[in-house]
Amino acid sequence: MMATVTKIPATVSRYTATPIQARVKRKVAAYARVSTDHEDQLNSYEAQCDYYTTYIQANDEWEFVGVYSDEGISGTSTRRRDGFNRMVEDALAGRIGLILTKSVSRFARNTVDSLTTIRKLKEHGTEVFFEKENIWTFDSKGELLLTIMSSLAQEESRSISLNVTWGQRKRFADGKATAPFSVFLGYDRGENGEFVINPEQAEIVKIIYGEFLKGFSFKAIARKLTEMGIKSPKGKDVWNESTVKSILTNEKYKGCALLQKHYTADYLTKKIVRNDGAVPQYYVEDCHEAIIDPATFDRVQEMIEQRSKVRHFSGATIFSTKIRCGECGGWFGSKVWHSTDPYRKVIWRCNIKYGGKSTGCKTPHVTEEEVKAAFVRVINKLIGDRTALLTDLRAVQETYSGTDELSQRLHELDDRLNSEAEAVQGLIAQNARVAQNQDDYNAAYDAAVSRYEATKAEREQVAADIRQRGIRRREFERFISELEKLPEAVSEFDETLWGSLVDYVTVGKDKTMVFTLIGGTEVKA
């Protein structure tokens, strides 16, 4: 006998999960996205939203849920796309049955993200329609087509990213600098993207550098700016020390620019990482008008480096980490006597004076008034010996002036270092592509790396010699300049003069003070 087969028709809609005779509208939403803030793209974004709103509401079988959107957001990742993520959450909660979108590339340019999201939506009964490619995800061929189209979209995104990266690096190589002007204190963006000094903000930058030169720390300067009611670069009422440090170490304030400090490591995640040598950097001198003169900027960098080497550095006042014990070499710290009565007094004494019999020293304390008076005597002594001292200083300065030969050698080493670095990378690339004897490869690799490291070590030593000569030369230049500007006599203590002339003061057992000035000159008060 032949089997009898009876077809039982479907009674439930695959789209709404309700009886087919029931008139239940399908809940429909749309997704729109543009990846840039350009005006033409924004017009496209508005057109997408208007189009889908009208399109969905015109269908009697559909119930309009809304248009989810993201403006100026890349499609390579779904992590920062708030509108997209909110739409998926609503779909998984059963509030959306169908999502309309313009194309696969509008939905996502990351194949993994695209397929993962589509499958998750499919499991929860939500279909997606890609209008340009005419793909319905519930269709049997939908996932195959979607995989192909998503891969093409991802490759397109990679190509665009490479082109953008190439353009940026070409601008860097050409020495074209830029900055986040909206949060970059001191400069505005000009008509052609150039740096234009903002006079009001430039004064704040000069205050920061001036306070640091007086001896104040990042933290103390941040506190002072907050107390002065000055807004931070981001418009905040409270400054933090990291912001102050970034301003004091940014070479753009002296008219130069170090380009490609960071780079995008992955076009999909858009992760930006610090450039520690993975890609080339470019240093542009005389890039734009400076707010801080180069000599002052370099002096600040030297002071930052010196302070980093001092254990427990404090820049709370202009005397912090400036007064040294002549017996043990430790730094003096401030102490308050009679803090709650009319005889209140601030004194400075060795921080390890009472550290026990083995570490204590007998150097007496000093008051700020005593240090200030001694400094005034030192300045007047310098003024009296000015002519002879200037002659001696200029003679010493000359010994640090000639760096032409060292600079020429540095350029030669830079060229050789670049060539040897390319040779090492060439060996690695060839070994990755072509099968070869690994013993021969390792020998060639080790030899190339040894040459590179030897050149690098020599280059670092030459650069250090040039830097040290420059530091000493500028110290003498600065000291000579300050000495020439001194009046015929000084009667009052001057904070700016203190910051620009004094390296540190050494206090002896008999309370004598020896001032070590910038450039190494020592004067006993």
| Residues 144-171 pLDDT 10s | 666 666 566 556 656 656 555 555 666 6
- Tell me 491's DSSP state: -
Pairing of strands 135-136, 127-130: antiparallel
Maximum mean pLDDT: which of 215-229, 314-328, 335-349: 215-229
% residues pLDDT > 90 (the chain) = 19
Of the segments 74-78, 200-204, 255-259, which one has the largest average pLDDT value?
200-204
3-state secondary structure of 175: coil
What percentage of the chain exceeds 70 in pLDDT? 79
At residue 379's C-alpha, the angle toward residues 375 and 381, to 5°, is: 115
Identify the CA nearest to 329 among candidates 307, 352, 346. Answer: 352
Lowest mean pLDDT among 137-141, 438-442, 507-511: 137-141
Pick the residue with more confidence: 12 or 77? Answer: 12
Q: Calculate ∠ Cα 72-173-270, nearest 5°.
A: 30
> Which residue in this structure is represented by tokens 């004897």?
437
- Between CA 230 and CA 217 the distance in angstroms is 18
Does 394 score more than 50 pLDDT?
A: yes
Report residue 273 CA to chain centroid gap: 10
Average of per-residue pLDDT across 218-224? 92
Summarize pLDDT for 74-119 with one digit per residue, the tens.
Answer: 544 455 678 888 999 999 998 999 999 888 777 765 666 777 788 8
Q: What tokens appear for 436 in the block?
A: 């070869």
- Of 296, 331, 327, residue with least CA distance to 314: 331
pLDDT at 237 over 80: yes
Q: At what angle do helices 294-309 and 199-214 cross, to 10 degrees?
A: 40
CB 368 within 8 Å of CB 346: yes
Strand order from edge to edge, sheet including 323-325: 323-325, 502-507, 513-517, 522-524
Closest residue by Cα to residue 126 from 98, 154, 159: 98
Reply yes or no on whether the pLDDT at 340 is more than 90.
no
Query: Distance between CA 107 and CA 84 in Å, rounded?
Result: 8
| pLDDT for res 110 | 63
Which of 262-271, 304-313, 341-350 holds the top average pLDDT? 341-350
Looking at residue 429, what is its pLDDT? 83
How far, in Å, CA of 395 to CA of 389, rounded?
A: 10
For residue 509, pLDDT over 50 is answered with yes
| Domains identified in the chain and CATH numbers | 26-160 (3.40.50.1390), 181-309 (3.90.1750.20), 323-524 (no CATH)
Indicate if the pLDDT at residue 38 is higher than 50: no
Instruction: Give the pLDDT mean for 495-504.
Output: 83
State the pLDDT at residue 71. Answer: 75
Higher-scoring residue by pLDDT: 42, 375: 375
Q: Which one has a higher pLDDT value, 133 or 236?
A: 236
CB 215, CB 315: distance < 8 Å: yes
Question: How far is residue 85's CA from residue 34's CA, in Å, rounded to a whole number?
Answer: 16
Q: How far apart are CA 17 and CA 14, in angstroms?
A: 6
pTM of the predicted model as reported, rounded to 2 decimal places:
0.54
**What pLDDT, on the 0 to 100 scale, is given for residue 109?**
54
Phi-psi region of 193 (alpha: psi -120 to 50; beta: other; left: phi over 0): left
In the numeric block, the tokens 């203190």 are attached to 498
The encoded tokens of residue 255 equal 């008219």
pLDDT above 70 (res 286): yes
- Kindly state the tokens that stand for 423: 């040779």
Q: Which residues pair with 257 in a beta bridge?
A: 284
Q: What is d(CA 472, CA 469) in angstroms, rounded to the nearest whole number?
A: 5
Per-chain mean pLDDT for the chain: 80
**Can you give the pLDDT at residue 487?**
82
Report for 108-112, 214-218, 384-388, 504-508: range of highest mean pLDDT:
504-508
Cα 313 from Cα 216, distance rounded (Å)? 11
At 2 the pLDDT is 78
Span 120-126, average pLDDT? 87
Helix ranges restricted to H, 217-336: 218-227, 241-249, 294-309
Averaged pLDDT, 369-396: 85
21 pLDDT higher than 60: no
Pair of tokens at residue 213: 């030169």
Which tops the pLDDT comparison, 282 or 124? 124
CA angle, corner 487, sides to 486 and 493, nearest 5? 75
In the 8-state DSSP scheme, what is residue 135?
E
